[in-house]
Structure 1
Amino acid sequence: MLHLRLITPADRTDDVLRLIEGTVGTTHLAVLPGAARNPAGDLVLCDVAREAGDELLTGLQQLGIEERGSIAVENIDLSLSKRADKAEAEAPGEGADAVLWEHLADATHEESTLSVTYLAFITLATMIAACGVVLDNAILIVGAMAVGPEFGPLAGFCTAIVQRAPRLALRSLTALLVGFAAAMVVTVGFSHFMDAVGLFSAGQLDAERPNTNFIYRPDWFSFVVAVLAGCAGTLSLTSAKSGALVGVAISVTTVPAAANAAVAFSYSEYKQAWGSTEQLLLNLLGIVLAGTLTLLTQKWLWARQRERPAKAGGV
């Protein structure tokens, strides 16, 4: 269930109440006339089944509530109410399958913004991965994958394509490209420093490296894993299963590939650098393709699922 807290202009409150009462899956409606001060208006509270949330939010936006008032949405972890159980049973579809597009757009907007924190995380992750590739240490590679924040901009770009939001697409693409470029430049300098103090060497990079040589040897398995990870990561965002993102993060070779390319470039090992760059691009392509197709499929399936009760009612 979702809890909605609305501030509505007095001249829109009746329309909002009609919308809420007419939306299947809503309950616990409460109205406090004149309770809001900034902005001035009425305070309207209600609960809605997750599977009916996107329809209700769309209707509220069409009424202009987000422009003249406020729409706040919270997840309800526990609701002991037979009315809530009835509302969820009446709402079409399953809550786990529902996509709240506004929530997804808002979440990916924050994750795909080029900020100092984002640059710090992706740079630190790339430097950790650099240590991992030189030492041929799989644990460091996994750690770097988990630290890397690159899935946020990738998810934002997929969402922007499906929602036809050019600003979000540009913001996500900027964060992705600038983030990786900055991280690789800093890692090149980091590699020179580590070489100067005797901790990195060209011999370590040119060694067989059985645990990490896959990073600069892309193949079809790299693309397949990236596609599967893109599907899983997108589903984890749309279904609020954030724990699955950790598994997604440590299954794709984006940050390690960028790190290996940077270290190889610092030692003029251009063949390894190019192979790592191919690995990076292949993973990015697979994730974007899979994420976009997953969102399109969810959108289509949810539209089909919502049509069934309407058709049944008409019959």
Structure 2
Amino acid sequence: MHLRLIVPPDRSKRVLDTLVDDPRVTSIVRLPGAAHRPAGDVIECDVTREATSEILGWLKQQGLYDDGSVAIALVDAAPSRNARQAEKAAPGAPDDAVIWDAVVDKAYNEAKGSWVYYAFLTLATMIAAVAVITDSSILVVGAMVVGPEFGVVAALAVGLALGNAGLTWRAAWLLVLGFLLAIVVTTLAALVARAVGWIDTSDVIAARPLTGFIWRPDKWSAVVAVLAGCAGVLSQTAGRANALVGVFISVTTVPAAGDLALSIAVWAPEQIGGSAAQLGINLGGMTAAGVVTLLLQRRIWRTYLRVKGRAGARVEA
């Protein structure tokens, strides 16, 4: 991981000396007086992923989060001997380490909400509604991929796991508001389509071999939601964002929302209940699994460090 620090002059030497003395840190550069807002020295360095949280915690104790600046970026490749030596000095594997400051910061960004989030969720729900009408499994997958809701679910899990009431409330509210808006808009569109004769009740309640599972939740719905929640949180904490695509196409949140909107528009009470249950099971299962995964990650990593012992220099408070 690459750190760009702006350090107040009175703490610059201590921060620089500590980083230089830590074998898990390399490529250290200091630019005296280069920063103007906030004012201070710019220090840049590359840190092994395993050591990043520890070093960030020490920098926070030094007041850099309040009086300076800290920026974190992923280094895609560092094919140098110094980088390999730094990695050897850090215990464990990079994917096992969680950079909690980055996780929390990303969770807050996801929980902010934007018109793009609402737009994508609404469009995904409308695609899912068309998938139900046409009984198209391809459109169901497309709707799952377009849906942006997992980032908010992950933010909710982070808030619950870390006991952050503010983050938990913001994420939960955004999740509820987003799905409510998407379902309302899709329901209105379905009512228009029904009024002009494009759809009727039979299109929704008819046997649907490829999409009927959407409104018929069973034990496997909960199993998949739990597995997807674990995989999704792991992909984000380990920096494996490409794995999220698999999560998107495995959970039936957006398809259930689309089916629910259609069922309301044509008034199919049985499917209303089934779709709502499917949506609740998936959101609840993913959130619970995410919380447990985060807590286990923190416990396992702390236990590993305690047993293995930290290699190299210590960062002292």
Q: For the superposition of Structure 1 and Structure 2, which TM-score range results when normalised by the shorter chain?
A: over 0.9
Cα deviation per residue 1:258-292 (whole Å; 9 max; x = unaligned)?
Answer: 11111111111111101110111011111011111
Which residue is 2:53 aligned to? 54
In 2, Cα distance between equivalents of 1:56 and 1:23 = 10
Letter in 2 for 1:295: L
In 1, Cα distance between equivalents of 2:126 and 2:296 = 37
In 2, Cα distance between equivalents of 1:297 and 1:170 = 23
Q: Structure 1 43/155 Cα, relative in aligned 2: closer, same or farther at 3 Å?
A: same
Letter in 2 for 1:218: P
1:180 CA displacement: 0.5
Superposition CA RMSD, Å: 1.5
Which residue is 2:111 aligned to? 112
Letter in 2 for 1:239: A
Give the unaligned 5+ runs of structure 2: 313-317
Which residue is 1:227 aligned to? 226
2:130 is the alignment partner of 1:142: no
Give the unaligned 5+ runs of structure 1: none
Instruction: State the SS of the aligned residue for 1:112.
Output: helix
In 2, Cα distance between equivalents of 1:15 and 1:197 = 73
Which residue is 1:35 aligned to? 34
Letter in 1 for 2:198: L
- Contact in 2 for aligned 1:132/1:140 (Cα 8 Å): yes
State the TM-score, normalizing by the size of structure 2. Answer: 0.95
2:163 is the alignment partner of 1:164: yes
Matches within 5 A, 1:139-218: 139-218=138-217
Cα deviation per residue 1:183-221 (whole Å; 9 max; x = unaligned)?
Answer: 111111010111123222111111111111111111000
- Contact in 1 for aligned 2:89/2:311 (Cα 8 Å): no
Aligned length: 312
Which residue is 1:96 aligned to? 95
Which residue is 1:81 aligned to? 80
Runs of 4 or more, structure 1, over 6 Å off, are none
In 1, Cα distance between equivalents of 2:49 and 2:311 = 22
In 2, Cα distance between equivalents of 1:220 and 1:19 = 53
In 2, Cα distance between equivalents of 1:38 and 1:259 = 48
Most deviating of 285-294 and 195-204: 195-204
Percent identity between matched residues is 46
Instruction: State the SS of the aligned residue for 2:241.
Output: coil
Q: Structure 1 19/252 Cα, relative in aligned 2: closer, same or farther at 3 Å?
A: same
Which residue is 2:288 aligned to? 289
Letter in 1 for 2:230: C
Most deviating of 279-288 and 300-309: 300-309
Which residue is 2:315 aligned to? none
Q: Structure 1 311/191 Cα, relative in aligned 2: closer, same or farther at 3 Å?
A: closer
Which residue is 2:10 aligned to? 11
Most deviating of 292-301 and 16-25: 16-25
